[in-house]
Amino acid sequence: DVKVTQSSRYLVKRTGEKVFLECVQDMDHENMFWYRQDPGLGLRLIYFSYDVKMKEKGDIPEGYSVSREKKERFSLILESASTNQTSMYLCASRPHVVAGQYFGPGTRLTVT
Amino acid sequence: DQQVKQNSPSLSVQEGRISILNCDYTNSMFDYFLWYKKYPAEGPTFLISISSIKDKNEDGRFTVFLNKSAKHLSLHIVPSQPGDSAVYFCAASGGNDYKLSFGAGTTVTVRA
């Protein structure tokens, strides 16, 4: 079974803090994704990576950056957390273009 | 601007009856469609998919129908079971696009 793990299930940070969300997948997938899920808005793509050291902006990249130094690990960085970044963050991976994405359990981030 | 729309935020159905979830899309380049199921505090899990060369795909109790001319797809769950109570997301992608566009989700509640 594919396993996608996220470093924290719940996180509380203060406004202005730098926040790192880590995601690791164990199936040698090329593509990895970061989404946020908000009520009434579904899942919105923040960034994705189609290979090591490659990254592309998604639909809502502002306020975020990413890092993919190794194939199995994709990190989401909030450079200076703000209250409007309070959300559920979901990481996903997939082996090739036409395939379903496998999601991690999510990180519920609260910025106060 | 959301390219995938799920206009019904919630659906309540009696156990044993059929659940029908609807999804509309606006991008004519979409050619691959997926349904995901999400329980609270868990990541979405892939349920079923369909490519644009087909108009129906069936997997056990789950059937997805695609009407390309109407840019509409639906998910049928027969018979509905209490464990089907979850949020269901419709998603779509086009060509070699790495991105999936998600709808806002429909919360299904199966009543005993």
pLDDT in tens, A58-112: 999 999 999 999 999 999 999 999 999 999 999 999 887 666 889 999 999 999 9
Cβ–Cβ < 8 Å for B87, B71 = no
**Encoded tokens for A44:** 């919105």
- What is the distance in angstroms between the Cα of A23 and the nearest Cα belonging to chain B? 13
Phi, psi (rounded to 5 degrees) for B77: -120, 115
Spatial neighbors of A37 by CB under 8 A, at least 6 apart, are: A43, A44, A87, A88, A89, A90, A106
* pLDDT greater at residue B85 or residue B93: B85
In the prediction, which pLDDT does A2 show?
A: 67
The pLDDT-based confidence of B8 (bands split at 50, 70, 90) is very high
% residues pLDDT > 70 (chain A)? 96
Given a cut of 90, is residue B73 above it in pLDDT?
yes
Q: Given an 8 Å threshold on Cβ–Cβ distance, is A106 in contact with B43?
A: yes
Residue A30: count of CB within 10 angstroms of its CB: 16
A45:B103 CB<8 A? no
A42/B103 CB distance under 8 A: yes
Task: Flag if A42 and B2 touch (Cβ within 8 Å).
Answer: yes
Closest residue in chain A to residue B49, using alpha carbons only: A100
